[in-house]
Structure 1
Amino acid sequence: MKNIHFKRKTVKIALISMMLFIGVISIGLMGYVKTNYDESFFRVDKPDPKYSGYLRYSDIDDYYERTEITFESGGNALKGCVYGSENDKGLVVISVGLGFGAENYLAETLYFVDNGWRVLTFDNTGTHESEGESTMGPSQSLLDLYAALTYIHGDQRLNNLPVMLYGHSWGGYAVTAILDSRFDIAAVASIAGFNSPMELLNEQVDSLLGAFSPIAYPFLWTYQNILFGNTAWVTATNGINSTDTPVMIIHGVKDEAIAYNGASIIAHRDEIINPNVIYKTNSAENHDGHNNLFESDAASEYAKTKNLEYKEIYNLYDGEIPDEIKEEYYEGVDRFRTSELDLDFMDEINFFFEKQL
């Protein structure tokens, strides 16, 4: 009897020890996932104008007027602008990529204005001039776009115009996922978008942890669900399939951020049943990545040249470039050249939008 009692006690202690060990490991993994997640979605402040390599509003404010707007998303005040208030063809809403603000897409904004559109742009949560301690996560772009469209719906100056959505990367997901909502959208152009937040996160974890990544999945899903609830599971394909709204899906075959055959929307084309979807695969050199799809060849080549110049300066000062040297470098950057668009690319989207009027 004593032997049996001793064995039972030993088994009980072993089970408790195992549970404690699993608990400690789980807490450690959850902490690791949370830390890496939060570091990936940090707040992105607007760069010092002295160190800007791309077009700024101050470069063109004598020629283009804009009206500043503010609306709320998740308790944060988001800042945006409406350009081309004199235009009444329709309203193009631009949803930007992670880490970028509305001003980073100023060239596209002006293109649409020049083609007769009114344009609404905004900084997402935790980005540039908008409030927010961080960018939160991949689902936040959908929530912020929902808030922007709610603002438009309630604004008498905007709600009588057909709405076209133009989104890149983070925004490329948002403009498609939002289709499963109450808003009347005339057409969508999704550029380099991911299909779902979870697919994107899994792809990034795979590149970080390799064969060990499945261990982190449950903790990643848990944290994403804590942050966003049901919104964490909204997919682009479900949004596209919920409507017959015309959608143009564009992706580069060498996209380094969202794999063409991985987390991208275009990788799910066999699941899409909306009959009004157009797919465009970009494979031409200088137009097949994540951020160069809309750049002109001249802009890509100029950027490469200036980047090499900066690398030489960086190496010369071992990464500690004096402010005056850095400022001198940026003074020599032609922001109109770095922001020059591929007009064939943009014209195709513009024509697609115009067909839906």
Structure 2
Amino acid sequence: MTVKFRKRRLFMSLLIGMTIFLFLPMAMSFMLYEHRFGSRQETPDYLKYEVAEFDQLQATQTFFSSNHHQMLAGVLYKNVEVLQPKGIIIISSGVEAGHNRYLPEIDYMARQGYLVFAFDGTGTDLSEGRSIVGLPQAIIDLDYAIHYIKDSESFDDLPLMLYGHGVGGYAAMSVLTKHQDITAIVERSGFYDSADLMNFMEEPILGQLSHLLTPYIKLYEWLKFGEYVQLNGLDALSQTKTHVLFMHSQDDDVVSYQQNFAKFVDLFGSIQHFKFMSYQNRGHDIVINPTLLDTVREQFEEDYPSVGEMPQDIRRMYHEVLYDLDYRLDVSVMKEIIDFYDQWIVKEYE
């Protein structure tokens, strides 16, 4: 065997090795990411609420620009009987769909004396965008929404709060790095790192391979989102003076309780301006009336291991019951949320 041949074989071995251990996982990660986030998300009509369904709720629509000049649809909500609002709450609804599904919570907040600003994220419902782009897009859109509210003279004297669920909770915590003057945040069922959530989502399908893809997911997000990828919930929470209420159910099958809420308690449990509320048997959406949730589980889940395995017509019925306006909210949980906001508004003005 000649030296030249050995060098050529070594080069080919290195090339094949790089392809297997670098380029193939990278390509797989990129394809996986685009499969999840590379299209628009529209809220189905049968899951949409109408403002007219809520007595005394007034909606004023507006538009504001996000990072690539895509116009996002925002709505300012108020109760017509509230003449002197306590503050303004920005709803961080994440990237899964528009803000409409939060109208029951929005109406409750408005009836308790708050202005509420909600918006459809990039690539959802009434907002522009060819796709929802990815998880950090939720931080970007929320950042631009906060700037939009701060730049409006109409809200100059009002305390500013955030309310985020799931991806919206991740965005609300992470954006604290850029906005140190938020009065209070309620985050429910949130997570602190986008790549970590991707692991949790893909592990049932890919097994341990999902962990091996993490560095490539992080690389792809850095290429797509730049500095926003560096905004991490744990880093933001370790530096902030903002008051934060963490809410999570132990049986959440969308965002891991142990990897997120339990970690928040372990790291920040002694911090006085943080409050932690743990639940059981509430799933990913802890504001749902538990009686309604139990009824739905009895009717549907005993026949199907997961919502994803339900036939389309059964899945539609499942969600229609969960979104029934007359029974949707657990008022006791919503009262905890409002009491938390009220407490820190009072403290701010003492």
Query: Same-fold call, TM > 0.5?
Result: yes
- Counterpart code for 1:294: V
Whether the 8 Å contact between 2:51 and 2:59 is mirrored in structure 1 is no
Match of 2:23 in 1: 27
Q: CA deviation at 1:10?
A: 2.7
- 1:2-17 to 2 correspondences below 5 Å: 6=2, 8-17=3-12
Residue 79 of structure 1: how far off its partner (Å): 0.5
Select 1:84's aligned residue among 72, 78, 81: 78
Residue of structure 2 in register with 1:129 after alignment: 126
Question: What is the distance in 1 between the residues matched to 2:291 and 2:58?
Answer: 28
Cα distance in structure 2, aligned partners of 1:32 and 1:326: 30
For 1:319 and 1:274, locate their aligned partners in 2 and report how far apart those are by CA, in whole Å. 46
CA shift in 2, pair 1:129/1:200, >3 Å:
same
Q: Which runs of 5+ in 2 are unaligned?
A: 305-309, 346-350
**2:325 matches 1:336:** yes
CA-based RMSD of the aligned residues comes to 2.9
Q: Which residue of 2 aligns with 1:55?
A: 49
Q: Which residue in 1 is equivalent to 2:13?
A: 18
Could you tell me which of 261, 267, 270 is aligned with 1:271? 267
Aligned residue for 1:105?
A: 102
Structure 1 spans left out of the alignment, 5+ residues: 312-317
Any idea what the Cα deviations from partners look like across 1:273-327, whole Å, max 9, x if unmatched?
74311111111x3x2x112x0011233245447758x99xxxxxx9686xxx999
Residue 293 of structure 2 aligns with which residue? 300
Aligned with 1:44: secondary structure? coil
Name the structure 2 match of 1:315.
none
State the shift of 1:35 in Å: 1.5
Aligned identity (percent) is: 27
Task: State the match for 1:39 in structure 2.
Answer: 35
**1:1-357 to 2 correspondences below 5 Å:** 6=2, 8-25=3-20, 26-41=22-37, 42-47=39-44, 49=45, 51-52=46-47, 55-60=49-54, 63-75=56-68, 76-84=70-78, 86-262=83-259, 264-272=260-268, 274-283=271-280, 285=281, 287=282, 289-291=283-285, 293-301=286-294, 303-304=296-297, 335-337=324-326, 340-357=328-345
In structure 1, distance between residues paired with 2:322 and 2:188: 27
Q: Do the aligned partners of residues 178 and 274 (structure 1) sit closer, same or farther apart at CA in structure 2, a change above 3 Å counting?
A: farther
Classify 1:320/1:258 alpha carbon distance in 2 versus 1 (closer, same or farther; 3 Å). Answer: closer
Query: Does the 8 Å CA contact 2:180/2:241 hold for their aligned counterparts?
Result: no
Contact 1:79 1:122 in 2 (8 A): yes
Query: Which residue identity is paired with 1:78?
Result: L
> Using a 3 Å threshold, how does the CA distance of structure 1 residues 266 and 18 change in structure 2: closer, same or farther?
same
Contact 1:240 1:274 in 2 (8 A): no
* CA-CA distance at 1:102 after TM superposition: 0.8
Question: Displacement of 1:208 after TM fit?
Answer: 2.9
Judging changes above 3 Å, is the alpha-carbon distance between structure 1 residues 215 and 96 closer, same or farther for their aligned structure 2 residues? same
Are residues 326 and 342 of structure 1, via their aligned partners in 2, closer, same or farther at CA, if it must alter by over 3 Å?
Answer: closer
TM-score, length of structure 1 as denominator length: 0.84
How far does the alpha carbon of each residue in 1:137-171 deviate from its partner, in whole angstroms, 9 at most, with x for none? 11111111100000001111123210111110001
After the TM superposition, which of the residue ranges 197-206 and 347-356 deviates more from structure 2? 197-206
State TM-score, norm by structure 2. Answer: 0.85
Q: Tell me the amino acid that sits aligned with residue 93 of structure 1.
A: I
Q: Does the 8 A contact of 1:142 with 1:174 survive in 2?
A: yes
